[in-house]
Structure 1
């Protein structure tokens, strides 16, 4: 998640809707004794603030400095309790846990039969929803109660509980192993990026195979299959094997479509699966298939029964915005694509504290590339600089390709005022990268020499660089470097003396012919 403002309580209050604030006030006033409660006064004051200012609270004598920390902690807890009761935040998992809590209360009162009745019904629901962790907690409590409340059926009952424990325990072990593997691969992607050589590839395969060979796929249920497909998607993305990334992204999404109830139970993972599928379809460049799956996704997440909350809205926004711009890129519709940018930026501001900054930087890069394609080079540079000047921890590859886009924009616009200085800073940046590649330095050298050449020699420089890019595109470890921005398409356009849009449109026609 994006870095929150310093005070978590203030951020929580500002995230609340009008109806949630109204419910909170009703909740704390339900007994008529909290009207002047200090934590409610604190809530009202913080709700009025545009920025958090502790001095205002102290000046108004709502609390002393010594008591403020405890008062804020109490208010934070009361808000969460109130939100938990809000129907908009109810889901199957919360409802199951609520029933488990009720059974615990009944057990503590010695009402064993009533507790067991609730537990038995809740366990069936948990197993139907594949919520095995909750089911295991239920079985553990059933064991405790059965050991104290002796019935004539204890022998058969004990055997059944033992059998259920063993089955669910095995399934949970699969889930743990697969989720650990998925997390490890995802962490590897964020920390080190895609594999750069055979040594990196072998390392990833060793990590993956050592875990996956322990898994019997035929024994997996929904949750374990979900983690199984996730692990394969992330492994193949790391290896830049897009054929198998596409295969497992399809399996991930189809898993939900084959069990539609799980879309409502795991909406985040449904959105994430579609995010990867739409992303890989974009890389393949088949616009017809991409648009069809995009329509399917929009229909599902816009349906009346699809869960709606701030987190899901932010994830849907990211998937929708990225895919929409990707479709415009594939078609070469840069001018109409730039018209999307104002609305996307408005929503970016809305979700500022709910989305990781890296995802914002990717959107800015796409906006910059869209402006470049529509020949608005000043705007392209301005949006690129949002990334370069970001104080956040942005991936190296993203920063490097942003710099290349700036150099392309400077060349096209003829704005070479600080061109040489920017080349030097880009070279300095590349040398500090964790694993700089030949592609990085070849690109820098190309732009460095390009600016000093006379017009007749520039054509030769573009042709020579085009040949180098062809070689890079044949190397599986360099393919990813050519996907951030279409530098190869731009160079080819210069070689063939056509607009870059024509190069892109040829690719679309070629992909459609392949499909047919």
Structure 2
């Protein structure tokens, strides 16, 4: 990114690479939790999209939308301003509709998961479940299998928070079955699977993989 800033003529020649560089930088700052720097870079991205050095095109607009709104959501995650973050969901949905032909399915699912997390952080479990169901009910469950996995786990937690005891028991079995069929579980997923097994035993039932 700094190379582009040091050589502004390159911004006009390679705006897509600049966008991608900004996106990677924003993701790194999000993971590190550097809020102030993240906001600074996000504003730079916003300024670039508001006044691009070259004629805008469909690819530039689509990538700009995805990267900007991803960073906007991540800002609320870092700051813990979940309720405030949910206020932009209607606008984000309109953008998703606008770019539905350009944005691939897995990126849309990621947005749904991030939206669900915003609502969960804001304490709105019904909305959380609404957006998680968009992932869980997606026809191709092999697409972003990891996302389907964590969507089911968060869905289980949201139902628990709502006191839906009967649904919780069903969700425990559903999550267990899904996890048991996954290949190459990471350590977190392995621990969750073990926890669900132990939970089933403590309730006097045996969870089955099929």
Q: Same fold (TM over 0.5)?
A: yes
Give the whole-Å Cα distance in 2 for the aligned partners of 1:452 and 1:365: 30
State TM-score, norm by structure 2: 0.88
Give the whole-Å Cα distance in 1 for the aligned partners of 2:130 and 2:193: 21
Q: Give the Å deviation of 1:452.
A: 9.2
2:151 is aligned with 1:402: yes
- What is aligned with 2:122? 374
The answer for unaligned runs of 5 or more in structure 1 is 1-252, 455-516
- What is aligned with 1:265? 13
The answer for unaligned runs of 5 or more in structure 2 is 204-210
Whether contact under 8 Å (2:11, 2:53) holds in the other structure is no
Give the whole-Å Cα distance in 2 for the aligned partners of 1:294 and 1:411: 36
- What is aligned with 2:69? 321
- What is aligned with 1:359? 107
262-271 or 435-444, which deviates more: 435-444
- What is aligned with 1:16? none
1:389 to 137, 140, 151: 137
Give the whole-Å Cα distance in 2 for the aligned partners of 1:304 and 1:403: 40
Give the whole-Å Cα distance in 1 for the aligned partners of 2:36 and 2:63: 24
Q: Give the Å deviation of 1:356.
A: 1.1
- What is aligned with 1:478? none
- Secondary structure of the 1:321 match is helix
Number of positions where the alignment pairs a residue of Structure 1 with one of Structure 2? 202
Deviations 1:425-463 (A, max 9, x none): 222222222212342132244356569989xxxxxxxxx
Q: Give the Å deviation of 1:422.
A: 2.0
- Secondary structure of the 2:166 match is coil
2:189 to 414, 435, 440: 440
2:41 to 287, 293, 302: 293
Change (3 A) 1:362 1:451: same
Deviations 1:366-408 (A, max 9, x none): 1000110111101101101101111245212211111111111
Give the whole-Å Cα distance in 2 for the aligned partners of 1:271 and 1:285: 21
2:107 is aligned with 1:342: no
2:36 is aligned with 1:282: no
Deviations 1:208-256 (A, max 9, x none): xxxxxxxxxxxxxxxxxxxxxxxxxxxxxxxxxxxxxxxxxxxxx1222
Whether contact under 8 Å (2:86, 2:118) holds in the other structure is yes
Larger Rg, first or second structure (1 or 2): 1
Give the whole-Å Cα distance in 2 for the aligned partners of 1:378 and 1:447: 23
State TM-score, norm by structure 1: 0.37
- What is aligned with 2:164? 415
Whether contact under 8 Å (2:29, 2:38) holds in the other structure is yes
Change (3 A) 1:451 1:416: farther
Give the whole-Å Cα distance in 2 for the aligned partners of 1:283 and 1:305: 29
Whether contact under 8 Å (1:410, 1:419) holds in the other structure is yes
